[in-house]
Amino acid sequence: MIKGKKIILGISGGIAAYKMTNVASMLYKLGADVHVIMTKNACQFITPKTFEVLTKNKVYVDTFDETPDDAVNVPHISLGQTADCFLIAPATANIIAKLAHGIADDMLTTTVLPARCPMLICPSMNGYMLENQVVQENIEILAKRGYKIIESEYGNLACGYEGKGKLPKEEILVEHILNAVEYDHDMVGKKVMISAGPTEESLDPVRILTNHSSGKMGFALARVAAKRGADVTLVTGPVNLSTPLGVERVDIVSAEDMYNEITSRAPEKDIIIMAAAIADYTPVSVADNKIKKQDGDMSIPLKRTKDVLKGLGENKKEGQFICGFSMETENMLENSKAKLVKKNADMICANNLKVPGAGYKVDTNIITIIKKDSVRELPIMSKDEAAYEILSEIIG
Ligand code: CTP
């Protein structure tokens, strides 16, 4: 939840400074307590007054610009120490160099030093400046110290060049802040792989066998795991969903693709969650040309695909946690418990497609979490909330 969170926006002197008015406004509307600190150069592009009107908070530029109350609460210490997230954007080569080397000669750089919250920085400048080795080395230093580097984008730059260095869209910056403050970062260091969506099995060049999976549950798991700090790989069948921020996405089509992509990456993962609806059967052969209709009925010979989850269970490495899903329309508990044992999984998330509010297309789910010694029924909740509960159950 961002509501009530103290967010500091540190703005240095780049033309993209004007975009930060939208960022400040969007955060304010979400209920955040937004504090803006500007460098003197940033004030060449936009005035502090604009941010004061948008955030209803005093904007700091000069370290010595204190009101009587500030003398007690010393803003350059208290702001940083009580912040929940600190975003520096646009970050010029100059501010990056100062932060990398501990120089604290203005309000912004001085406030950064006592801050103990997630630090985000978005380098934004001319592409040639950005490529310069010293700038890259300074960015590297900040990354090593735990700063989250928000990559700038390619595009037309204010200097007339086309290249990398453009500040990303305001929505993306806000999304990064939401990621940083929405959840506790209790999955940092965990390598998580999640499968999602349907698979498609070709019959001929025009036809496929597939299912109704939307991929929403798997994507919710990937999104929430990334927000909790995990290193997430999402292997997905064909879906119409955008990749959650910070998630590595691998697109696949068939059950065989899914088997190959998941199995080859599995040994290095700490947690694997199989939320994909993978075809159990695939056509024995794929026709080279369109199959023409004939009189009467037809049947298609199918062969079994490999069970990815079962393979993972059989080759589970020490300390690895394997979670499967179970989609049923009858005898949900009994069938799902059997899958837990048969596939040697650590946990199965079961849901009944016939219950309203559960299943593929909807944004809610009703999950029963089954482990070897326990069964926990979750009430109806959004897929993001269900994802949070599932991940919490896994990390304990
Ligand atoms: N699964 C898999 N490989 C397959 C089929 C399913 O890894 N070829 C995984 C799914 O991703 C899910 C779990 O196995 O995590 C259970 O899938 P589900 O379709 O509910 O069950 P099945 O094992 O396929 O059995 P049935 O279709 O008979 O219910």
Q: Which two tokens stand for residue 245?
A: 């921020």
Of 181-185, 339-343, 380-384, where does mean pLDDT reach its minimum? 181-185
246 or 200: which carries more pLDDT confidence?
Answer: 200
Query: What distances in angstroms separate CA 54 from CA 5, 32, 33, 47, 189, one per listed residue?
Result: 16, 12, 11, 12, 37
Q: Mean pLDDT, to the nearest integer, of 103-114?
A: 96
pTM over 0.85: no
Catalytic residues: 159
SS3 state at 241: coil
- Average pLDDT, whole number, for the chain? 94
Q: Which two tokens stand for residue 80?
A: 């940083």
Query: First-to-last CA distance in the chain?
Result: 22
Q: Which atom of ligand 1 lies closest to the CA of 305?
A: 8
Q: Mean pLDDT, to the nearest integer, of 367-395?
A: 96
Q: 236 with 215: CB under 8 angstroms?
A: yes
User: pLDDT tens across 303-356, in order?
Assistant: 999 999 999 999 999 999 999 999 999 999 999 999 999 999 999 999 998 898
Q: Distance from the CA of 269 to the center of ligand 1, in angstroms?
A: 20
Q: Distance from the CA of 277 to the center of ligand 1, in angstroms?
A: 7
Half-sphere exposure at residue 43, Cβ-oriented, CA atoms within 13 angstroms: 13
> How high is the pLDDT of residue 277?
97
Q: Which residues line ligand 1 (CB under 6 A)?
A: 255, 274, 276, 278, 280, 305, 307-309, 324-327, 339
CA 72 to chain centre: 39
Nearest CA to ligand 1 atom 9: 309
How far is 139 from 129, CA to CA, in rounded Å?
A: 12
Q: Distance from the CA of 278 to the center of ligand 1, in angstroms?
A: 6
User: pLDDT tens across 189-229, in order?
Assistant: 999 999 999 999 999 999 999 999 999 999 999 999 998 98
Q: How confident is the model at residue 71 (pLDDT cuts 50, 70, 90)?
A: low
Q: 222 with 183: CB under 8 angstroms?
A: no
Q: Which atom of ligand 1 lies closest to the CA of 348?
A: 15
Q: How confident is the model at residue 72 (pLDDT cuts 50, 70, 90)?
A: low
Task: Judge whether residue 252 has pLDDT over 70.
Answer: yes
Pocket test of ligand 1: the residue of 200, 281, 307, 329 to mutate, having most ligand atoms within 8 Å of its CB, is 307
Sequence-distant (6+) residues with CB within 8 A of 251 are: 236, 238
Q: Which two tokens stand for residue 71?
A: 């003398």
Q: How confident is the model at residue 395 (pLDDT cuts 50, 70, 90)?
A: very high
Q: Distance from the CA of 308 to the center of ligand 1, in angstroms?
A: 8
Q: Which atom of ligand 1 lies closest to the CA of 309?
A: 7
Of 67-76, 208-217, 385-394, where does mean pLDDT reach its minimum? 67-76
Q: Distance from the CA of 287 to the center of ligand 1, in angstroms?
A: 26
Q: How confident is the model at residue 68 (pLDDT cuts 50, 70, 90)?
A: low
How far is 37 from 53, CA to CA, in rounded Å?
A: 14
Q: How confident is the model at residue 91 (pLDDT cuts 50, 70, 90)?
A: very high
Nearest CA to ligand 1 atom 27: 280
Residue 98: what residue type? Answer: K
| Residue entry with tokens 């990064």 | 176
Q: Which atom of ligand 1 lies closest to the CA of 325?
A: 15
Q: Which two tokens stand for residue 94?
A: 């100059």
Q: 237 with 215: CB under 8 angstroms?
A: yes
Q: Distance from the CA of 254 to the center of ligand 1, in angstroms?
A: 14
Pocket test of ligand 1: the residue of 234, 257, 308 to mutate, having most ligand atoms within 8 Å of its CB, is 308
User: pLDDT tens across 312-327, in order?
Assistant: 999 999 999 999 999 9
How far is 312 from 266, CA to CA, in rounded Å?
A: 7
Handedness of CA 75, 77, 82, 85 (dihedral sign): positive
> How high is the pLDDT of residue 255?
98
